[in-house]
């Protein structure tokens, strides 16, 4: 899907905002790349009609554009565009309309198309009680496995799980920010976490609660050496193979903790590491923290990106 030229600054700004919005929601990198490009095709078509302002996008114009796509010939293989291509554009337009509504830019109605693909507009946020359940499940000891690697090994994983929850929930880090943490990034005296490799290479300092500091200290000094064995590494989170842990492994551990809770409602939610970040931002907003402070806490570049949490709080 090639990028078409745009003349309208209004459209270019909206495309950048949409891309960042998708990133905040935790969509896959391919989705973050492809869907704004699909919306750019809508913008390019609008400009061809002489409509260069965001407020000129209407449900009628969107329907006309989609009819244009259905009638367009595939110049590569002949015939019409594939259903997969059309579905991708419908998904992009629906999510873009949702972005416009949530950011207050434009109140587009929800498009009702038949045979839509799976479109995820709902963001699952954990309640404070559900977060507590995750911490409690980290204390679970697998009795049936205690003879495989020894009790100390599984206790080390428990401590690592609590440290992981502290980093992604209490500190609100992005997935890769947590993965790339080193042991020297924790300042226990000042109660700060130094995020050196944030998005777009931006650094920031994140405050750590006393309870989270305790979880990190226990993991760092009691559990991490057992996982590290004789190896050497600056990585904060170490795998069972004494290497820097990857995001997928931590996601598997998070799913494991969810399964241990025996909470049906929690288990039905679509939970990832980014869900913990969404949850702490929503909880802070609900407790009265100013949006500007939450923006700095999360490392957002613009306040507009943080405003999504006002909608989550209302929901």
What pLDDT digit, counting tens, does each position of 165-177 carry?
A: 999 999 999 999 9
Distance CA 198, CA 178 (A): 9
State the greatest distance between any 2 C-alpha atoms of the chain, in Å, as a whole number.
72
Active-site residues: which are they?
A: 174, 199, 274, 277, 300, 309
Q: Could you report the per-residue pLDDT of 270-285, keeping only the tens digit for each?
A: 899 999 999 999 999 9
Q: Token match 């080193």: residue?
A: 182
Structure tokens at 78: 């002949």
Please give the share of the chain, as a percent, with pLDDT higher than 70.
Answer: 87
Reduce the DSSP state of residue 46 to 3 states and report it: helix
CATH number of residue 284's parent domain: 1.10.443.10
pLDDT surpassing 50 at residue 116:
no
Q: Are residues 269 and 212 in the same domain?
A: yes
Of 122, 119, 157, nearest to 138 by C-alpha is 157
Structure tokens at 49: 């009609």
Domains of the chain: total: 2
Distance CA 158, CA 215 (A): 10
Structure tokens at 109: 């109605």
Distance CA 153, CA 281 (A): 33
Q: Could you report the per-residue pLDDT of 196-252, keeping only the tens digit for each?
A: 877 767 899 999 999 999 999 999 999 999 999 888 999 999 998 899 999 889 999
In a domain, 251, yes or no: yes
In a domain, 122, yes or no: no
Q: Are residues 152 and 27 in the same domain?
A: no
**Where is average pLDDT lowest: 62-71, 141-150, 211-220?**
141-150
3-state helix, strand, coil in the chain (%, to 5): 60, 5, 35
Q: Are residues 173 and 27 in the same domain?
A: no
Please give the share of the chain, as a percent, with pLDDT higher than 90.
Answer: 47
> Which of 17-26, 73-82, 127-136, 297-306 has maximum average pLDDT?
127-136
In a domain, 212, yes or no: yes
Angle at alpha carbon of residue 87, lines to 82 and 91, rounded to 5° = 155
Reduce the DSSP state of residue 190 to 3 states and report it: coil
Q: Are residues 67 and 180 in the same domain?
A: no
Which strands make up the sheet holding 186-187, listed edge to edge? 186-187, 192-195, 204-207
Give the residue numbers spanning the domain of 64.
9-103
pLDDT surpassing 80 at residue 150:
no
Q: Are residues 136 and 93 in the same domain?
A: no
Distance CA 93, CA 215 (A): 43
Q: What is the DSSP letter of 183?
A: G
Neighbours of 121 (CB within 10 A): 12
Q: Are residues 160 and 275 in the same domain?
A: yes
Distance CA 226, CA 81 (A): 56
Burial class of 216 by CB neighbour count within 10 A (0 to 12, 13 to 18, 19+): buried
In a domain, 114, yes or no: no
Q: Are residues 35 and 160 in the same domain?
A: no
Measured between alpha carbons, how far is residue 274 from residues 97, 108, 167, 310 in Å? Answer: 22, 27, 11, 17
CB 264 within 8 A of CB 276: no
Reduce the DSSP state of residue 92 to 3 states and report it: helix
């Amino acid at each position: 899907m090639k990028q078409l030229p745009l003349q309208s600054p209004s459209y270019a700004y909206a495309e950048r905002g949409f891309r960042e919005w998708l990133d905040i929601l935790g969509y896959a990198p391919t989705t973050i790349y492809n869907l704004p490009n699909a919306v750019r095709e809508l913008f390019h078509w609008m400009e061809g009609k002489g409509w260069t302002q965001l407020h000129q996008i209407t449900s009628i114009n969107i329907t006309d554009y989609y009819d244009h796509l259905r009638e367009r010939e595939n110049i590569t293989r002949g015939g019409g565009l594939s259903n997969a291509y059309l579905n991708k554009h419908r998904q992009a337009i629906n999510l873009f309309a949702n972005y416009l509504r949530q950011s207050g830019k434009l109140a587009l109605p929800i498009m009702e198309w038949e045979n839509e693909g799976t479109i995820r507009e709902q963001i699952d946020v954990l309640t404070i009680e559900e977060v507590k359940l995750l911490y409690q499940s980290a204390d679970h000891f697998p009795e049936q496995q205690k003879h495989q690697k020894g009790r100390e090994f599984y206790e080390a994983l428990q401590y690592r799980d609590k440290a992981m929850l502290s980093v992604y929930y209490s500190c609100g880090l992005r997935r890769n920010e947590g993965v790339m943490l080193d042991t020297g990034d924790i300042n226990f005296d000042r109660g700060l976490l130094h995020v050196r490799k944030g998005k777009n290479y931006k650094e920031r300092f994140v405050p750590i609660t006393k309870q989270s500091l305790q979880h990190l200290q226990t993991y760092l000094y009691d559990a991490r050496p057992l996982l590290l064995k004789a190896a050497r590494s600056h990585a904060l989170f170490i795998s069972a193979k004494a290497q820097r842990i990857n995001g997928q492994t931590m996601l598997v551990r998070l799913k494991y903790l969810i399964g241990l809770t025996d909470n049906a409602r929690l288990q039905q939610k679509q939970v990832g590491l980014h869900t913990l970040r969404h949850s702490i931002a929503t909880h802070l907003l609900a407790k009265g923290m100013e949006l500007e402070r939450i923006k700095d806490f999360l490392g957002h570049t613009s306040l507009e990106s943080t405003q999504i949490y006002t909608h989550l709080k209302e929901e």
